[in-house]
Every structure is written in C-alpha cells, then in structure tokens.
Amino acid sequence: MSDVTDRLRCEILSGEFPPGTRLIELQLTERYSVGRATIRATIVELSAEGLVVHEANRGATVRTVPIQVAIEIAQARAALEGLQARQAAARASEAERAELQAIIRDMEAAVDENDHPAYSELNGMLHRRIGQISGHSIGTELVANLRNRGAHQEFRLALKPGRSSISLPQHRAVVDGIVAGDGDAAEAAMRDHLASVESALRDWMS
Amino acid sequence: MSDVTDRLRCEILSGEFPPGTRLIELQLTERYSVGRATIRATIVELSAEGLVVHEANRGATVRTVPIQVAIEIAQARAALEGLQARQAAARASEAERAELQAIIRDMEAAVDENDHPAYSELNGMLHRRIGQISGHSIGTELVANLRNRGAHQEFRLALKPGRSSISLPQHRAVVDGIVAGDGDAAEAAMRDHLASVESALRDWMS
DNA sequence: GTCGTCCAGATTGTCGACAATCGACGCTCG
DNA sequence: CGAGCGTCGATTGTCGACAATCTGGACGAC
C-alpha cells in the first residue's frame, strides 16, 4: 500500500521496534512525516499481516511470538512449502532447475567460508524461488505472511553455530527432488527440513 | 474490529455484493451511516483478508476468484487442515471425540432428509471444531482466511446434487482417525477429502 | 473516420480537529 | 494505613473538508 507501510514493516522486522513495543500513532506520525490517517491505515494492514496486535481503544503493539507459536509457524510452513515443493517438481523448467542448483552451490560456498549473512540470504532466496516456481499464488502469499511472523526467531536460530551444516544437506535434498521431477521426494524433503527447524526451536525452549 | 467490518464481510459472503462489484466509499458511508474513515479502515482490513482487492487510487472491488485460484485454495486447505487433523488426533479429549462423532451423526441425518443447508452448516462446524481441537492457532487463522476467500465457490459446489453423499464418508474417515488417535490416518483422510473437493472444482471448470 | 488532447465529473488519499475512551495519579473516607 | 472514587493527561476513534488522481466523453487535427 503506502510506502510508509513498507518502512514500518521493515523497521519492525529489523528489530528497531522490539516485540512488545507500543506503537503510538502520534510518534509514528512525526517519525514518518505523514498524517495520522496514513499511520492508522498501515497499522490496520500490519495487524492483518500478524506483525502487530491491535486492541480496541488500546492501540497497537508489536506482536510477541511465544516459542509455542513459532513452532506452529514452522509446522504450517512445512505443510504449505511441502505442497509448493511438490508442484515445483512438476512444473520447473530446465532453466529453473539449473537456477536452484546454482543457489545450492552458492550455499555450499557460503558454508565453506563461514559467511552466515550470505547463507541466510541464499536460504531465503531458495525458499522464495521454489514458491514462485510452484506457481502457487495462494501458498506463496501465506508463506510470506508466516515468514514475516517468525522472522525474529528464525533470525536467532540461524545464528546458532552448526545450524547451516544441518540445514544445507536438507536443502540439497529438496532441490534434488525438484530437479529429478520427483514431487513426493521434494515434498518429503521440505517437510523434513522444516521439521528439523521445529525441533531446533523446541530445544531452544529451555 | 469495527462492527461495520463484520457487516460488510457478511454481506459480501452472502452475495449481496457479487464478485467484481466496485465498493465505493461514499455509497458505503450512507449505507452504514458512518464516516468515510471507518469505511476506509474496513476496506483495508477486508483487503488484508483477501476478500477485496484494493488498487491504489482506483478503489476497492470484491475479489473475483478464478477457478484456478479456488483450486489452489483447496490445496492449501488440504495441507493445513491435514496438519490440524493429525494434531487433533493426538490431543482430543474423550468429550471432544464424542462431539465429533455426534456431528457426523447429525450429518448423516441431514443427508437422509436431503437438508442441504443443515449439512452445509454441519460441514463448516466440523472443520472449525477440528481446528479448535488441534490447538493450532496459526493454522486455524490461516484456514479461516482461506475459507473466506473460497466461500462463493464452495457454496456452489455444495449445491451440486450427490455431493454430500461423496463427502460424508470422507468426513467420517477423518473423524474415525481422530477418534482412534491415529494421526496419520486422520491427516490422510483430510487430504483425501479436500483433494476430492479439488477434483470436483476441476470438473466444474468446463 | 481515427487518433490524440483536454476538460469535467467522480472517487480516492491525506490532513487537521473534535469527541470518546482508557490508564494512572492523587484524594478522601473508613 | 488501605480501599474506593473522581479527575486529568494521554491516546485512540470518528468526522468533515481539501488536494491529488483517475475515468469517460467531447472536441479538434490529421
């Protein structure tokens, strides 16, 4: 919608407004130099995206995502992205298959060089690209929503040492399934991958 | 949020505003006797729910759902509700298992009496209840969203003669799996059920 | 006759101001 | 000294008005 919506969303995701922060309309008005009506619209929108909660007459706060809900998010993503992986296996063109393999190669290089930011970026790109290739617009939309909600936790998880060496072979399995046109394998690999994210979150619970 | 949001959502779902209708803010203002700011907020909200599309400087229209997208909705629901059915099988209390069986019995009665509205209502209640029992808040939220978006098509599909006699045994299989505590069976049955919805939609495509 | 331009009406985007509501502080009373 | 109540500041909900933008049709040039 408005440019302001993107900016606020970005600042929430980057941790500028930590979870639990109250979003006071007047403060945001002067921060972004727009009227309150605009701020109001962005808050309603981000509320629908699940990034903020908006109680009547009590204003909006940045959503705090309990570990339990982060686990649910990972489960829902497993279900939806598994579906996407299956369809991507059936629909990917030759060029797209090569592109996915190239991303995997870049990820291997990033792991070798211990370049965590690059790996994280490639990770996001791989998931997004598979969604696009699947052609599943609804799934892509819902997954983007879920990714927003879980961004904070995923960010922390990615920093855990040794995490990338666990997830890399799982990603490779997903891409192998898609390249081979084996929808069952691709879906299973994707669900495995996100199940491993889920169990890592459970460990983190303590 | 506002009471107006619920009213407008209801009227869209009931067909008062058919897909493609332009939603003009001034008309809605006088229809609901509220200011334009309120209407604006409800439109942003319904837009986020996917019920209406809202192009910049061009206003809002009731979303038209092409058959292709309706199929995607059914697929995404299959993935998410399959997950819910699995978890419901693991978590349902004795009372809840009995409740689900009671709904199935009521559905059988509705089919016997050819009471389509009652069957449709029970159908919705069964799916909703399974979502609640699963305790999966994220999944429940996403499924509610998807149900809204596909409401028109599902409505037409439900009117198709003989449809209930196909879907009833599928529903029974889902509940049987949950009652038996067999998560795999419950998930498979739910996915089967929504796959059959998908193929019915594909038939309807012609 | 057709294309491009321009104008008028309609509709949306944004703003500032007022009314309604909530939370907290301080005060009084038991 | 503690509980209940009233008041006050802060924040949100709503409204009307103005500015910006888009749509459709009329007009004129080629």
pLDDT tens per residue across span A78-90: 999 999 999 999 9
Q: Which nucleotides of D are covered by protein (CB under 7 A)?
A: 11-17, 21-23
Q: Is the pLDDT of residue A175 over 80?
A: yes
Q: Is the pLDDT of residue B33 over 80?
A: yes
- The pLDDT, as a whole number, for residue B161 is 75
The integer distance in angstroms from the CA atom of B2 to the C1' atom of D10 is 22
Tokens found for residue A7: 């900016």
Q: Is B53 on the interface with A (CB under 8 A)?
A: no
For residues A37 and B158, the model is more confident at: A37
- Measuring from the CA of residue B56 to each C1' atom, give the nucleotide at the shortest distance: C12
Tokens found for residue A193: 């991958």
Q: Is the pLDDT of residue A3 over 90?
A: no
- The pLDDT, as a whole number, for residue A131 is 97
Tens of pLDDT, residue by residue over B132-159, are 999 999 999 999 999 988 888 777 777 7
What's B115's DSSP letter? -
Q: How many C-alpha atoms does A78 have within 13 Å on its Cβ side?
A: 21
Strand locations in chain B, DSSP E?
22-23, 52-55, 59-62
Q: pLDDT band for B1, please (50, 70, 90 cuts).
A: low
Tens of pLDDT, residue by residue over B35-81, are 999 999 999 999 988 899 999 899 999 999 988 999 999 999 999 99
d(CA B183, CA B88): 8
Whole-number average pLDDT of chain A: 92
Q: What is the pTM of this model?
A: 0.89
- pLDDT average, residue stretch B9-20: 92
- The pLDDT, as a whole number, for residue B22 is 95
For residues A56 and B131, the model is more confident at: B131
- The single-letter code of the amino acid at A150 is G
- pLDDT average, residue stretch A174-180: 97
Q: pLDDT band for A1, please (50, 70, 90 cuts).
A: low
Asked if A80 lies within 8 A of B80 by C-beta distance, the reply is yes
Q: Answer for the pair B133, B90: CB distance below 8 angstroms, yes or no.
A: no
- Length of chain B in residues, anyone? 206
- The pLDDT, as a whole number, for residue A49 is 87
**In angstroms, how far apart are the furthest CA atoms of chain B?**
55
What's A180's DSSP letter? T
Percent of chain A with pLDDT over 90: 76
Q: Answer for the pair A159, A61: CB distance below 8 angstroms, yes or no.
A: no
Q: Considering only CA atoms, give the Rg of chain A.
A: 18
- The pLDDT, as a whole number, for residue A186 is 96
Mutate which of B71, B137, B138 to disrupt the A interface (most A C-beta within 10 Å)? Answer: B138
Give me the total of CB pairs closer than 8 Å, taking one residue from chain A and one from chain B: 79
- Other C-beta atoms lying within 10 Å of the C-beta of residue A152: 20
Tens of pLDDT, residue by residue over B145-204, are 999 888 887 777 777 778 888 899 999 999 999 999 999 999 999 999 989 988 988 988
Tokens 């904070």 label which residue?
A152
- The pLDDT, as a whole number, for residue A173 is 96
Window 42-101 of chain A: CB closer than 7 A to strand D:
54, 56-60
- pLDDT average, residue stretch A14-41: 93
Q: Is B130 on the interface with A (CB under 8 A)?
A: no
- pLDDT average, residue stretch A37-50: 92
Tokens 């209407």 label which residue?
B39
d(CA B67, CA B154): 11
